[in-house]
């Protein structure tokens, strides 16, 4: 009883460290004002991720338990849920990253405007969080608590350490860049728990659309920087949503149709 209990307790600690660690580590370097900008930007950027991905852990785990007698079907559900959440997060977090600075500059007091780059970078760093949520739910359902602990340690430690390094180099924005890289590395590490065979054929449905949406985002971001006025920036953001959503939709239309209109991720 002690081993799984200890592993779960440590897992909870490192999951909390993913959000609190970067703020603490950045605060060791930054002055109170810049630490406040970083903490506020982190809190704003992460809300959509908690709503769209992290809160689903409690829903996904019983689904994976239910279909545990069919490992092949279970693994397909893990990969499918990771892909669907990634599709949602690339659009929502991408939109956040595009509009963070324009909206802050237009509607918020000047004192909060330095948090704009923080929101942008953190939003980009959290786009793969759905992978971690899906894999961690699956490991929890399978009782693989040691593996669950490892995929929680890596993002918890990497986000904090890289936030500290970034803060030393480039202040609050550097801390945000470091946190974003740490979050991406931590989410990517989750893939190590899934056999490579389960990713055969995933290029078309996962990697290619992810890269395509990234290219669309970079293009829109560069145009928004040059655009004059919030209306033009808003139009470019809508273009990103439509183009990005279309890319994900046509990458695997049948899956998204079933998810939205017929069946859930477990095929029921």
pLDDT in tens, 122-145: 999 999 998 999 999 999 888 888
**pLDDT at residue 203 in the model:** 59
Q: How far apart are CA 19 and CA 219, in angstroms?
A: 30
Nearest CA to 224 out of 235, 211, 212 is that of 235
Can you give the pLDDT at residue 243? 96
Return the pLDDT at 26. 94
pLDDT of 57 reads 78
- Average pLDDT along the chain, 268 residues, taken 10 residues at a time: 70 85 94 93 86 77 86 86 90 93 88 91 93 91 89 93 95 95 91 66 76 95 87 92 93 74 54
Per-residue confidence (pLDDT) for residue 253, from 0 to 100: 78
Please write the tens of the pLDDT for every residue from 193-229: 876 555 555 656 788 899 999 999 999 999 998 887 8
Closest CA to 207 of 182, 188, 228, 229: 188
pLDDT for 266: 54
Question: What HEC string does the chain produce?
Answer: CHHHHHHHHHHHHHHHHHHHHHHHHHHCCCCHHHHHHHHHHHHHHHHHHHHHCHHHHHHHHHHHHHCCCCHHHHHHHHHHHHHHHHHHHHHHHHHHHHHHHHHHHHHCCHHHHHHHHHHHHHHHHCCCHHHHHHHHHHHHHHCCHHHHHHHHHHHHHHHHHHHHHHHHHHHHHHHHHHHHHHHHHHHHHHHHHCCHHHHCCHHHHHHHHHHHHHHHHHHHHHHHHHCCCHHHHHHHHHHHHHHHHHHHHHHCHHHHHHHHHHCCCCCC
């Amino acid at each position: 009883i002690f081993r799984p209990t200890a592993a779960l307790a440590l897992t909870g600690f490192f999951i909390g460290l993913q959000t609190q660690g970067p703020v603490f580590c950045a605060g060791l370097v930054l002055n109170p004002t810049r630490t406040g900008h970083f903490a506020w930007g982190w809190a704003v950027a992460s809300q959509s991720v908690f709503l769209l991905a992290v809160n689903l852990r409690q829903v996904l785990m019983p689904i994976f338990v239910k279909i545990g007698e069919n490992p092949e079907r279970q693994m397909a559900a893990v990969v499918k849920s990771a892909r669907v959440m990634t599709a949602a997060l690339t659009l929502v977090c991408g939109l956040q990253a595009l509009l963070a600075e324009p909206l802050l500059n237009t509607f918020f007091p000047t004192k909060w405007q330095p948090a704009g780059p923080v929101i942008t970078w953190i939003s980009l760093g959290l786009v793969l969080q759905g992978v971690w949520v899906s894999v961690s739910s699956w490991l929890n359902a399978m009782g693989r608590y040691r593996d669950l602990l490892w995929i929680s340690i890596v993002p918890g430690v990497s986000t904090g350490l890289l936030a500290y390094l970034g803060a030393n180099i480039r202040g609050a924005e550097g801390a945000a860049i470091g946190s974003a890289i740490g979050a991406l590395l931590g989410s990517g590490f989750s893939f190590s728990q899934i056999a490579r065979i389960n990713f055969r054929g995933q290029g078309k449905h996962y990697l290619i659309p992810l890269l395509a949406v990234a290219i669309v985002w970079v293009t829109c971001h560069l145009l928004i920087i040059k655009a004059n006025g919030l209306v033009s920036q808003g139009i470019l953001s809508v273009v990103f949503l439509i183009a990005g959503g279309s890319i994900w939709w046509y990458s695997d239309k049948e899956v998204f149709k079933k998810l939205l209109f017929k069946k859930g991720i477990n095929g029921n």
